[in-house]
Amino acid sequence: MRASNQGQTSKRLVKDLIAQKRLIVWAMLGTVIQVVLTVYLPILIGNAVDVVLKPNSLKLLLPILIKMVVVILINTLIQWLNPLIYNKLVFRLISEFRQKVMVKLNQLPISYLDRKSVGDLVSRVTTDTEQLSNGLLMVFNQFFIGILTIIITIITMADIDFLMLFLVLILTPLSLFVARFIANKSYTLYQNQTQSRGRQTQFIEEMITQESLLQTFNAQEQSISDFTKINITYADYSQGAIFYSSAVNPSTRFINSLIYGLLAGVGALRIMSGAFTVGQLTTFLNYVNQYTKPFNDISSVLSEMQSALACADRLYMILDEGYQVLPVKAKLDAQKLKGQVSFNHVSFGYLKDKPLIKDLTLDIPAASKVAIVGPTGAGKSTLINLLMRFYEVDGGQILLDGVPISDYAVEDLRKQIGMVLQETWLKTGTIHDNIAYGYPDASREEVVAAAKAANADFFIRQLPQGYDTYLADAGSSLSQGQHQLLTIARIFIKIPKMLILDEATSSIDTRTEILIQEAFEKLMKGRTSFIIAHRLSTIRSADLILVMVDGNIVEYGNHTQLMAQKGVYYQMQTAQDVSSL
């Protein structure tokens, strides 16, 4: 069930908070003690005032003053401890929130991530959780204390004078009505603000990461113009939300000041008539302050909670995202895996109404070297995505050694496939950590051997700390070719049963590429291998070449057979031969 409204989101937050039973109990106990002591202090002050007005009051005043000192000291200690408990409770909840969201993002299919902007997702995990944390802290520091203060103060005021209590209860709800009206308006604006902030974060990330491309195409003015529009929209939503939320406190304070003045006047008249003492009026006016102050705090919390609930709603949307987990029906035995792959009437489309691959049937013998070629958008990478189960087929089956790959656990399947992509990625960490990515327990000897196999050892040893060189910038100081060599080295750590090479040497110089190709040739012997290539000269030795156009395999065979057919492959090969002259 998806978080879709304010009430539902609030219930879920409360449920998540209650799950931390011990901290909740301590938080509630501390809140009760703090409020009781705070309410008890005005009674002592009122008693002291009445005693002072009497003759020979020193003996009677001293015990009251001692009680006041004790109450103030204990209350000060409690008010110091309570925020520590609140912070621990909230930060633990937010930490679990972030953990759940990150786990869910790692579980969701690639198709979900393709539909979402990276900046928006980053904004949800970072900014939204921080905003939610601030809102929850205000709930504990102000809202709960405020509610309890109102209840206990009403009970105490009833014990002093019903007429004055009646006036307080009649007049003070005016500030609540004003606060509620403004809070409802600000909730929608805060929702718009968080969504706009996600779009802004995404755009900023794109601009910074692609700055060299922007300058190459002289697109700075257009980018700045686009950013200006996004920035103005975000500023407008933020200004509107802040305006309404800022209007709550002064509005309620104004109303409460009028109420305080009216009650002081009524109290003075009752003293003159003998129905009230000066001490009672002092106590009562203190209670009026204690009673009305929580309304100001609560109104501020309500405003802040609109933003927090909007953020929580966006986080719950990720947690509520449904995805189908296919049951595991077969165990993949790595020792017995041969690598025979069959596509049996496979159909797939990124959009359900626009199929890309239609009724594909193909058998690939074990230990075959298979090359996939074709124009951009033909479906080459899609075929690999389906084999890796980044996407599930819409129809038909893909079989590995005669067993549908959907019967295997996704983790077991992917462990048996080594994949090197054209797009490289390095994490922030040492060279050793990056090569051992996926196998963090790999020894230094295994990492060095893998780097040598990928011809990366030479440039690594030239770095300041060699394999211990820390890439604080996720490798931006390295060349694109060095990036690719490190990603190639990863598959040499634990050599898999099957290989997928998607333009794996596109950013490497010709001499190094030849050495890498030789290493790949040795690696691919006895293993089923898929090679996506645009440079057709690199795949002439393939056992099987698949030529794809518009999601369909229009030709297949080895290099000699396809050249003899003089079809699409022949035309592609001829065009490349001419362009290389």
| pLDDT score recorded for residue 3 | 42
| pLDDT score recorded for residue 249 | 73
CA 416 to chain centre: 30
Residue 405 carries which DSSP code? Answer: G
162-171, 376-385, 401-410: range with highest mean pLDDT = 401-410
Percent of the chain whose predicted confidence (pLDDT) is above 90 = 4
| pLDDT score recorded for residue 506 | 67
| Residue labelled with tokens 């050495």 | 515
pTM, to two decimals: 0.67
For 179-221, write each residue's pLDDT tens digit.
777 777 777 777 788 888 888 888 887 787 777 677 767 778 8
| pLDDT score recorded for residue 580 | 52
Which pair of structure tokens corresponds to residue 405? 């790959």
Read off the pLDDT band of 264 (50, 70, 90): confident
Is residue 421's pLDDT more than 60?
Answer: yes
Average pLDDT score over the chain: 82
Which pair of structure tokens corresponds to residue 467? 């394999």
For 131-187, write each residue's pLDDT tens digit.
888 888 888 887 888 888 888 888 888 887 787 778 777 777 777 777 777 777 777
Buried b (16+ CB within 10 A) or exposed e, 335-374: eebbbbbbbbebebbeeeeeebbbebebebebbbbbbbbb
| Residue labelled with tokens 């969201």 | 101
| pLDDT score recorded for residue 299 | 66
| Residue labelled with tokens 């090569």 | 435
Which ranges of 454-506 does DSSP label H, i.e. alpha helix? 457-461, 480-491
Average pLDDT over residues 56-74: 83
| Poorest-pLDDT segment among 166-175, 387-396, 440-449, 492-501 | 166-175
| pLDDT score recorded for residue 533 | 78
**CB 438 within 8 Å of CB 495:** no
Average pLDDT over residues 554-563: 88
| pLDDT score recorded for residue 2 | 42
Read off the pLDDT band of 474 (50, 70, 90): low
Percent of the chain whose predicted confidence (pLDDT) is above 70 = 94
What does each C-alpha distance from 457 to 119, 467, 474 come to in angstroms?
Answer: 35, 9, 19
| Poorest-pLDDT segment among 199-203, 282-286, 402-406, 484-488 | 282-286
Average pLDDT over residues 299-307: 74
Q: Round to whole Å and give the CA distance between 84 and 573.
A: 71
Average pLDDT over residues 68-95: 89
| Poorest-pLDDT segment among 329-333, 412-416, 516-520 | 516-520
Is residue 81's pLDDT more than 80?
Answer: yes
Read off the pLDDT band of 445 (50, 70, 90): very high
SS3 74: helix
Contacts of 428 (CB under 8 A, 6+ apart): 471, 472, 473, 474
| pLDDT score recorded for residue 344 | 92
Is residue 564's pLDDT more than 70?
Answer: yes
| Structural domains of the chain ordered from first start | 6-319 (1.20.1560.10), 426-495 (3.40.50.300)
